[in-house]
Structure 1
Amino acid sequence: MSFKKTRIQLAREAFKRRDLSLHQMAHDPKKIGQEPWHKTEAGRYIGSAVYGASDGIVTTFAVVAGVAGAQLDPKIVLIMGFANLFADGFSMAVGDYLSEKSEQDYIKSEREREAWEVDVNPEGEREEIREIYKRKGLKGEKLEQMVELITSDKELWIDTMMKEELGIMEDEGSSPLKSAIVTFLSFVIAGFMPLVAYVFASLVPFFSQNMFLSASLITAATLFVVGSLRQMVTGVNWLIGGLEMLLVGGLSATVAYGIGYLLRTVFNVVI
């Protein structure tokens, strides 16, 4: 099955390459008219998936590295790793849900307020529209035509006030619950990777003989892949994104390992 790029993906690629022919292809009138303007169902939650995965793998491997640095029993990695995995994953998902729900409630209340103001004081709101576009450089007849056009449609009027006066961009199709579920699943799935070597140590001889090394290699590969996928959200080069994530994860693991080693040395912990 061939992968068909969306119009916005073509436009982004054209910009990166400074390719005018690709730019013209992305701005074909037929494509503009046929393709939906809003985010797709999958695209809407890419950010939650990528950031959930990156947090999951970094925090879980920090636990693994800390336990390894303290030279504790490998079983403790499984206990602490899974406890951290599900507790932090649930906490992050709840936080994501509450954040998006609060934002949606705020947007809804502001839209209701703007609608009420249009109903009770249309002249005042019309003057605000006039001032908005006057500051953008319109004047005279063109300004009045723009004001008349926008205020002739109540929904367009409110949309304009939301965006231009309040700076609020609405995304009507987003679901806080779906976003939370995506965050939780991506956190748990990616966060499980540092534990693979410990979970399957009895089945894979290399894992049993080199648990922390195996966990480190698996984690490094996963960090790079997740970091590369960030380009779907940020537009950053996939190689740079992968290396950045690998560096951040490596630093976090180094700190955790060092603290574990230091605590064992200072307190002479023996388990």
Structure 2
Amino acid sequence: MFRWLFSKLTPKSRPRLASEAFKKGDLETHKKLHSPDEIGKEPWHKTEQGKYIGQAVYGASDGIVTTFAAISGIAGANLSPKIAIIVGLANLFADGISMAIGDYLSEKSEKDYIKSEKERELWEIEHLPEAEKLEVREIYKRKGLTGEKLEHLVEAITSNKEIWVDTMLHEELGIFEDDTNPLKSAIITFLSFVIAGFMPLIAYIFASQSQLLAQNQFLASCLITAATLFFVGALRQVVTGVKWYKGGFEMLFVGGLSAVVAYLIGWLLEKIVKIPAL
């Protein structure tokens, strides 16, 4: 099931297929994927579908852990389920907006920085070409190239301004451009945060529909959250490549630990401060 879902979420790019072949020890498939025809077909960029998987997975992870920790603290303090709904929803949307804004500003700031550095490198190439050429030579000299090979490479790179600028960005500054849209990234982060973060609240919001649910709201929330945590953790395979069940149990452990700490703090404060049961 998870493998099918992952294949739908992320297209099977050549590097991804090569990675799978490497893990399986499939030399024939690996050779085929490195044939001239296959290499020539490679688009060399992320697809629109796969660009924002990271934001979606990590946004969902933060959303569910944040909301469930808040609910656990309220349950530990023996406060009214209504408070869990109010605090949970307020916390969910406030943190979701904050996280989305932070993601947008971070992405935009990075793009602005890259743009300014690219403009500076282009200006230097146009006004100080010999100095910039010397920098390229020094970069590859430190990598071990010498003699004619070094000179041919320097000449090839500096014969094209776009390649020259990109080389300076990559090799001198360690900068790599990304065509991710900051606004789309922020929206996806917000939606994934809110959708996943809403899961722990389901048992509380729909408690009036079932007497059993009403009598076991926190327990039901724990079960729903555990299942969602495992699912979101398993989806991390898309980003990290870790095995889905390992990612699922890791996320379940981290989320569960956060909830236990929040519950214990709520319980302890209720004992110390004598918070009335509202």
TM range (shorter): over 0.9
State the TM-score, normalized to the length of structure 2. Answer: 0.94
Q: Within 2, Cα distance between the matches of 1:183 and 1:200?
A: 26
- In 2, distance between residues paired with 1:77 and 1:42? 36
Aligned runs of 1:162-173 on 2, under 5 Å? 162-171=169-178, 173=179
Q: Give the distance between the partners of 1:225 and 1:50, measured in 2 at CA.
A: 10
Q: Which residue of 2 aligns with 1:263?
A: 269
Q: Supply the distance in 2 between the matched residues of 1:202 and 1:225 (Cα, whole angstroms).
A: 27
**Which residue number in structure 1 is paired with residue 206 of structure 2?**
200
Equivalent residue number for residue 16 of structure 1: 23
Match of 1:128 in 2: 135
Pick aligned residue for 2:60 from 53, 58, 69: 53
Counterpart of 2:48 in structure 1 is: 41
- 1:149-207 CA distance string (max 9 Å, x none): 00000000000000001111111x21111100000000000000000111111123332
Are residue 67 (structure 1) and residue 74 (structure 2) matched? yes
Q: Per the alignment, do residues 86 and 128 of structure 1 end up closer, same or farther by CA in structure 2, a change over 3 Å counting?
A: same
CA distance in 1, matches of 2:24, 2:165: 38
Distance in 2 (CA, whole Å) between partners of 1:31 and 1:37 is 12
Shift of 1:35: 2.9
- Paired position in structure 1 for 2:156: 149
Q: What are the superposed Cα offsets for residues 67-123 of structure 1, whole Å, 9 maximum, x if unpaired?
A: 111111101111000000000000000000011111111100100000000000000
CA RMSD for the aligned pairs? 1.4
Moved more, 240-249 or 6-15: 6-15
Number of residue equivalences: 270
The equivalent of 2:111 in structure 1 is 104
SS at match of 2:97: helix
Post-superposition shift, 1:229? 0.7
Give the corresponding residue for 1:32: 39
In structure 2, give the amino acid aligned to 1:225: F
Q: Which residue of 2 aligns with 1:234?
A: 240
User: How far is 1:127 from its partner?
Assistant: 0.5
Within 2, Cα distance between the matches of 1:91 and 1:217?
A: 27
Q: C-alpha separation between the residues in 1 aligned to 2:32 and 2:253?
A: 37
TM-score, length of structure 1 as denominator length? 0.96
Matched, 1:117 2:109: no
Letter of the 1:98 counterpart: L
Query: Within 1, Cα distance between the matches of 2:98 and 2:113?
Result: 22
2:85 matched to 1:78?
yes
CA-CA distance at 1:42 after TM superposition: 1.8
Alignment of 1:244 with 2:244, yes or no, is no
